[in-house]
Amino acid sequence: MSIMTWTYIIVGASFALYLSIAWMSRVKDTKGFYVAGGNVPALANGMATGADWMSAASFISMSGIISFMGYAGCMYLMGWTGGYVLLALLLAPYLRKFGKFTVPDFVGDRYYSKAARTVALICAIFVSLTYVAGQMRGVGIVFSRFLEVDVNTGVYIGMAIVFFYAALGGMKGITWTQVAQYGVLIFAFLVPAVAISLKITGNPIPQLGLGGSIVEGKDAGQFLLTALDRIGTDLGFAAYTTGFTGPGAKPMLDVLAITMCLMVGTAGLPHVIVRFYTVPSVRAARISAFYALLFISILYTTAPAVAAFARYNMVDSLNGVAYKSAPSWFTNWQKTGLIAWIDKNGDGIINYSYGPAFTGKLAFTGQDGQYGQPLIKNEPTTNKNELYVDNDIMVLANPEIANLPAWVVALVAAGGLAAALSTASGLLLVISSSVSHDLYFRMINPQASEKTQLLLGRIMIGVAVCVAGYFGVNPPGFVAQVVALAFGLASSSFFPIIVLGIFWKRTSREGAIAGMIAGMGFTLLYIIQTKFMGVAPWFLGISPEGIGTVGMVINFIATVAVTMMTPPPPAHIQDLVENVRIPRGAGQAAAAH
């Protein structure tokens, strides 16, 4: 059977599964809608958190980025896992004990202030929207390649599906759908990884294959990483395993800032934090943080292996090869506009080396060149590189590059969709509950009935889907980069004031508000300047993806400074802080609401 047929079967079957789970777990009350009734078993919550967490960026883009970056890719790997240590030790158990529905709930109650709640609310919506935009783009890319539709049509299909199960089942539906999606995405990620590891290194475990040696071809007998170091430097790139030196390498300070920003951002992301409200106890919150990271680490330790295999395969099968005899995956992927070849020296051979092949955003003329290659409108650059490969295709094209059977290619499509849709649904719920619960119920109309709140929650999911879809059609950058910005905003807004709120009783509302505004204001300004206005990164050369670390420090300093100048919080707030530090009695907190 063809790739197309397999894709329809596997993607169709997985969607049928998600939709039937959503239908079976549909909800009628706000507690089910916002926190799945607060009784999800820790193991299931760990899986759901894993699926919620591992987005289109983790599944589709991350390996591609690591593949091009080599060593420096560690900032994504460590950043997106190390944050769970912070989450498990500093936040999750206390937020569970506090036991309300959302992050703005905690901020609003801890800082006894409507203003603080409002600032937290705006941050939550902003962070979630930035993040969800990247997911919708991921959905579009997967659909466009595998169902051979336009990227935009792919985004619309994704919007319709995610709206259906998020609106119907709320948090409860999302949680159980995500458990299924975790299964699909991890299986889909591991099957090709194992097959490729076996093929290149003879070792079926990708984590070990990464350190193994190549079994066939001209590099046979060499360690894979040694071969990659050599191939990289031969073509003018930095050595694959070395940090901070060579063309295009990131300086240590930047790697440090980005890693820290992604870690702290992970711990401050509203759609992850809210997951710890859905378990029955503080103990369950602690253990589900462990399960979550365990399930996540299966993908995150496989990804660097996939990255190395993909890089080796790509260079091996393309560089120095005549376009006419280029492998079929290369010509297949040209249709998506994510890969291109520009024959600079007119020799008909694909030459790959360091540097961009052309200037501007890739655009095809619609005509074919003398070797049958689609011609592009862009101006060529003066370097020798003739090849353009979008980061986002590395994982998706990998099974084709390694000549795996058609059903594996289809499986990867289903996995990519599971990753993107599960994260998108978790984020949509945060946006919806922020507006319907924090804004409408807590601030505008506290008398609203359950029915009104639920209806508003569902309408808000619809609105959020449309906004997300708009950004999916008009993306502001690479999938993983857009997501990285959400981390900057999360780390500079929530993380410091939640941590201080738990560990420093004295923290006052004035301090928290000043901290959030200062931290997030700085981060936002820097990102807008450097990403959208073309200003060069001016703060110690730190790139916009890492600036959230500086924003976090500013937030901490501003919160502490303003707290010292303002009166301490009232006695009942100090009692509340004492209370969240003790695990016993967590069962009642959410019910009392």
Window contacting other proteins (CB under 8 A); options: 141-149, 191-199, 283-291, 394-402:
283-291
d(CA 266, CA 84): 7
What is the three-class DSSP state of 365?
strand
Q: Map the footprint of other proteins across residues 258-277, applying CB under 8 A.
A: 259, 263
Helices (H), 474-585: 479-503, 509-527, 547-565, 571-580
Residue 283 or 384: the one with the smaller Cβ distance to other proteins is: 283
Distance of closest approach, residue 67 Cβ to other proteins, in angstroms: 12
d(CA 348, CA 423): 43
d(CA 492, CA 268): 9
d(CA 410, CA 366): 28
For other proteins, the binding residue among 99, 158, 304, 519 (CB under 8 A) is 304
Residue 5 or 245: the one with the smaller Cβ distance to other proteins is: 245
For other proteins, the binding residue among 23, 290, 504, 532 (CB under 8 A) is 290
For other proteins, the binding residue among 255, 267, 273, 306 (CB under 8 A) is 255
Distance of closest approach, residue 69 Cβ to other proteins, in angstroms: 11
Window contacting other proteins (CB under 8 A); options: 23-31, 83-91, 270-278, 526-534:
83-91
Of the chain, the end-to-end C-alpha distance in Å amounts to 55
Distance of closest approach, residue 78 Cβ to other proteins, in angstroms: 5
| Size, binding site for other proteins by CB under 8 A | 55
For other proteins, the binding residue among 49, 81, 313, 493 (CB under 8 A) is 81
Residue 78 or 235: the one with the smaller Cβ distance to other proteins is: 78
Helices (H) and strands (E) in the chain, counts: 24, 4
Burial class (CB in 10 A: 0-12, 13-18, 19+), 572: exposed
Distance of closest approach, residue 192 Cβ to other proteins, in angstroms: 19
For other proteins, the binding residue among 324, 377, 451, 581 (CB under 8 A) is 581
348: which DSSP letter? S
Give how far the C-alpha of residue 193 lies from the chain's centroid of Cα atoms, to the nearest Å: 20
For other proteins, the binding residue among 74, 147, 467, 561 (CB under 8 A) is 74
71 binds other proteins (CB under 8 A): yes
d(CA 490, CA 126): 9
Indicate the pairing of strand 364-368 with strand 339-341: unpaired
Residue 180 or 394: the one with the smaller Cβ distance to other proteins is: 394
Residue 38 or 457: the one with the smaller Cβ distance to other proteins is: 38
For other proteins, the binding residue among 39, 118, 233, 242 (CB under 8 A) is 242
498 binds other proteins (CB under 8 A): no
Helices (H), 319-444: 328-334, 393-401, 406-433
Residue 166 or 210: the one with the smaller Cβ distance to other proteins is: 210
293 binds other proteins (CB under 8 A): yes
Task: Please answer whether residues 92 and 286 qualify as being in contact, where contact means their C-beta atoms are separated by less than 8 angstroms.
Answer: yes
Residue 12 or 585: the one with the smaller Cβ distance to other proteins is: 585
Place of tokens 């907190």: 589
66 binds other proteins (CB under 8 A): yes
Place of tokens 């969607």: 15
For other proteins, the binding residue among 153, 233, 297, 529 (CB under 8 A) is 297
Cβ-based neighbour number of residue 503 at 10 Å:
12
176 binds other proteins (CB under 8 A): no
Distance of closest approach, residue 418 Cβ to other proteins, in angstroms: 22
Task: Please answer whether residues 31 and 428 qualify as being in contact, where contact means their C-beta atoms are separated by less than 8 angstroms.
Answer: no
Strand pairing partners for 339? 389
199 binds other proteins (CB under 8 A): no
* Cα R_g (the chain), whole angstroms: 24
Residue 208 or 322: the one with the smaller Cβ distance to other proteins is: 208
For other proteins, the binding residue among 4, 19, 90, 553 (CB under 8 A) is 90
57 binds other proteins (CB under 8 A): no
Task: Please answer whether residues 483 and 452 qualify as being in contact, where contact means their C-beta atoms are separated by less than 8 angstroms.
Answer: no
d(CA 410, CA 57): 19
Distance of closest approach, residue 404 Cβ to other proteins, in angstroms: 24
578 binds other proteins (CB under 8 A): yes
Residue 213: phi, psi to the nearest 5? -115, 155
Task: Please answer whether residues 323 and 373 qualify as being in contact, where contact means their C-beta atoms are separated by less than 8 angstroms.
Answer: yes
Task: Please answer whether residues 278 and 179 qualify as being in contact, where contact means their C-beta atoms are separated by less than 8 angstroms.
Answer: no
146 binds other proteins (CB under 8 A): no
For other proteins, the binding residue among 38, 50, 64, 93 (CB under 8 A) is 93
* H helix or E strand, kind and range, residue 389: strand 387-389
Distance of closest approach, residue 82 Cβ to other proteins, in angstroms: 5
Q: Map the footprint of other proteins across residues 205-224, applying CB under 8 A.
A: 207, 210-213, 223-224
Give how far the C-alpha of residue 119 lies from the chain's centroid of Cα atoms, to the nearest Å: 24
Token pair in block for residue 285: 């919150």
529 binds other proteins (CB under 8 A): no
Cβ-based neighbour number of residue 160 at 10 Å:
10
300 binds other proteins (CB under 8 A): yes
549 binds other proteins (CB under 8 A): no
Window contacting other proteins (CB under 8 A); options: 125-133, 175-183, 241-249, 403-411:
241-249
Token pair in block for residue 68: 């091009």
d(CA 393, CA 390): 6
Residue 214 or 524: the one with the smaller Cβ distance to other proteins is: 214
Cβ-based neighbour number of residue 474 at 10 Å:
11
Residue 4 or 78: the one with the smaller Cβ distance to other proteins is: 78
Distance of closest approach, residue 263 Cβ to other proteins, in angstroms: 8
512 binds other proteins (CB under 8 A): no
| Site of interaction with other proteins (CB under 8 A) | 66, 71, 73-74, 77-78, 81-82, 84-86, 88-90, 93, 207, 210-213, 223-226, 241-245, 252, 255-256, 259, 263, 281-283, 286-287, 289-290, 293-294, 297, 300-301, 304, 578, 581-587
